[in-house]
Amino acid sequence: MPYFSSQMSVEPGSASVLQKTSADVTEGRAAVPASFLPAAGSPPVEWLIDDVPVRYPDAVAGMETQVAAITAGEAAERVWLVEHPPLYTAGTSAKPRDLLVADRFPVFDSGRGGQYTYHGPGQRVAYVMLDLNRRRHDLRAFVATLEEWIIRTLAAFNVRGERREGRIGIWVPRPDMGGGREDKIAAIGIRVRRWVTFHGIAINVDPVLEHFSGIVPCGVSEGGVTSLADLGRVVSMAEVDAVLRREFVPLFGETVGAAAEEFPG
């Protein structure tokens, strides 16, 4: 499967982007205008929150169903907020050596771009299913806008998240730890099919950070992993969800609530 950048997978049907290199997407994102609003008159993005942990295969099946319906013009775009039971996922460029403890948690091939990552309770995963045909065919701008969404959400809790050139995701400087250390607080991994996106972002709210020790997260061994709770911000998942929705609107457009039973799959 063709892919580019460390956190992105692009399937046939989005062929014009396959000529891009990793640098086209991962470099210079800070200078990209952070806005990915749809064309005027587009329907709102459906907003769904699952209140119980979602099995990873069920999440993938649900995304596949929704993406197929969006592509066919039969469904609205959707953001789906979930937590998962403890597990590791392997992206299309995952290296076996980066799975440090193979028998600790279930490991799933994800089909998204990127390498190994951890999902579990206390981490908010947002699966972002948007039709870029209604917006624009610019994956670097899409990734930059996802990053801006995370940065604005963290800022609401007085956490300064930052981009890093050549790496996708959001990092927090840790001067308290010394040595110029920085820790990753949020990851991004997406897949694109016929210009419809799926998979998405993960923000560490209050997961068990030791669970990340079974992998080299996203293939990056420098720095550590942190969370809002680790940084002293004790907030509920509901508070994070409310800010995510508020900050989504000026970047990606209006939302409308969707009942859990409406989600296919």
Catalytic residue list contains 218? yes
Tens-place pLDDT, residues 48-86: 999 999 999 999 999 999 999 999 999 999 999 999 999
Q: Please, what is the end-to-end C-alpha distance for the chain in angstroms?
A: 24
pLDDT at 241: 97
Tens-place pLDDT, residues 4-50: 233 455 665 553 333 343 444 555 566 666 789 999 999 999 999 99
Catalytic residue among 17, 143, 218, 244: 218
Residue 1 has pLDDT above 70, yes or no: no
> Is there a contact between 203 and 241 (Cβ–Cβ < 8 Å)?
no
What is the DSSP secondary structure assignment for residue 131, as one 8-state letter?
B
φ/ψ of 55, rounded to 5, equals -65, 140
d(CA 97, CA 166): 21
Which pairing describes strands 123-129 and 162-164: parallel, antiparallel, or unpaired? unpaired
pLDDT at 93: 77
Question: For 163, how many CA atoms within 13 A lie in the half-sphere containing its CB?
Answer: 20
Cα-only R_g, the chain: 17
Tens-place pLDDT, residues 209-256: 999 988 876 545 556 899 999 999 999 999 999 999 999 999 999 999
Helices (H) and strands (E) in the chain, counts: 4, 13
Tens-place pLDDT, residues 170-208: 999 988 887 788 999 999 999 999 999 999 999 999 999
Residue 22: closest CA among 137, 136, 143: 143
DSSP assignments along 49-80, one per residue: E-SS---HHHHHHHHHHHHHHHHTT-S--EEE
Residue 29: closest CA among 198, 193, 171: 171
pLDDT at 214: 87
Least-confidence region, from 25-34, 68-77, 88-97, 135-144: 25-34
d(CA 185, CA 250): 23
Q: Torsion-angle region of residue 238: left (phi > 0), alpha (psi -120 to 50) or beta?
A: alpha
Helices (H), the chain: 22-26, 56-71, 139-155, 237-252
- DSSP lists the bridge partners of residue 155 as none
pLDDT at 3: 28
